[in-house]
Amino acid sequence: MRVLRTRDELRDALAEVGRPLGLVPTMGWLHDGHRSLMRRARADNATTIASIFVNPRQFNEAADYQRYPRNETRDLAICEEEGLDLVFVPSVEEIYPPGFDTTVSVGAVARPLEGAARPGHFDGVATVVAILFDLVGAEHAYFGQKDAQQVMVIRQMARDLAIPTEVIACPTVREADGLALSSRNVHLSPAERAAAPVLRRALLAARDRWAAGERSGDGLRDAMWQVLSTEPLAIPAYVSVADGRTLAELERVPDDGPSLLSSAVRFGSTRLIDNEPLD
C-alpha cells in the first residue's frame, strides 16, 4: 500500500494503476462503516484508493473541527488490513493552496435538514469532494447511506459539474444495539452511549407505523418524537419525513415513490444523525 501526501505524488501513482479505480473518501478515525465501503470498493475495482482528510470547510463549528478524532497510524493500519492499494493523506494546504477561493454550492437538495441545521456544511462537502473527484479521476466512489443527504448532494454536484465518477451508496453499518457507527461516537459519555440507540428506535417506530398503514407525515413525525421524548439525554434537532428524491417534507407519504425518515439528535455535545428509507 502506498501513502501519498501531495497532488504530485497522487498523480504519479495514478498514472500506473489498473482500472477501474474505486475511491473511498473519509475523514479518518476509521471504523467498520468505512471498512464496509473499502470492501465494496475492492470487490468492484482493480485498484482502490481511500482519502483521509478532516475537511475544515465542512465543519460549521470550529470546536467540532478541533476535537474531531484523528489517528493516522491506526487509520493507515486499517487501510492496509483492508487491502487498499493507495491512500491519499493530504494536508489542508495541499487541498486548499494559498489563494484558494472557490466554493461549490449545491442547490435545493442541500438546503433542508443538515443543510438548514449546519450552515455551510454542504458547501464544504461539495467543494472538497469535487476536488477529490477531480484529482483522483476514479470510475467509482463509495459513500455511506448513513449520510443520505450527503449522497444526494454529491450526486447532484457530480452530475452538474460533468464529473464522470459514479457515486455508489452503501448500507449503514450499526452496533448490535442499532446505533450507526460514527467517528463522533467516541465523544459519547457512557450514559450518552447507552441513550444513543433511541435515535434508531425512533426511526424504526415510525417505519413500523408506516408498515401498518400510516401515511400522514405528521403521524410519522409524532411517532419519532414520542420515542425520542422517552430519553432525557436526547435533545432532538429535527425529525423528518421527506421525499426521497427532493427531501421536501411530506404531508402524506406516497405509495409509489421513495421517502426518507431522518433525524438529528444531540447527546451532550455530540450530534448524531441517522435515517431510514421507506420504499
Catalogue the active-site residues: 34
Count interface residues toward ligand AMP (CB under 6 A).
17
- End-to-end Cα distance, the chain: 40
The CA–CA distances, whole Å, from 193 to 12, 144, 185, 212, 243 equal 44, 21, 8, 30, 30
CB of 36 to ligand AMP, least distance (A): 6
Are 239 and 224 contacting, i.e. CB atoms less than 8 angstroms apart? yes
Residues 6-45 contacting ligand AMP, CB under 6 A: 26-27, 33-34, 36-37
CA angle centred on 181, ends 65 and 266, rounded to 5°: 55
Residue from 177, 198, 199, 196 nearest 186 by CA:
196
Beta bridge partners of 60: none
CB of 28 to ligand AMP, least distance (A): 6
Closer CB to ligand AMP, 156 or 172, in the complex:
172
Among 147, 192, 231, 274, binds ligand AMP (CB under 6 A): 147
CB of 125 to ligand AMP, least distance (A): 9
Binding mask 167-196 for ligand AMP (x = CB under 6 A): ---x-xx------xxxx-------------
Closer CB to ligand AMP, 48 or 253, in the complex:
48
Q: Classify 32 in phi/psi space as left (phi over 0), alpha (psi -120 to 50) or beta.
A: alpha
Closer CB to ligand AMP, 26 or 156, in the complex:
26
Q: Is 143 in the site for ligand AMP (CB under 6 A)?
A: yes
Closer CB to ligand AMP, 146 or 209, in the complex:
146
Site residues for ligand AMP per CB under 6 A: 26-27, 33-34, 36-37, 143-144, 146-147, 170, 172-173, 180-183
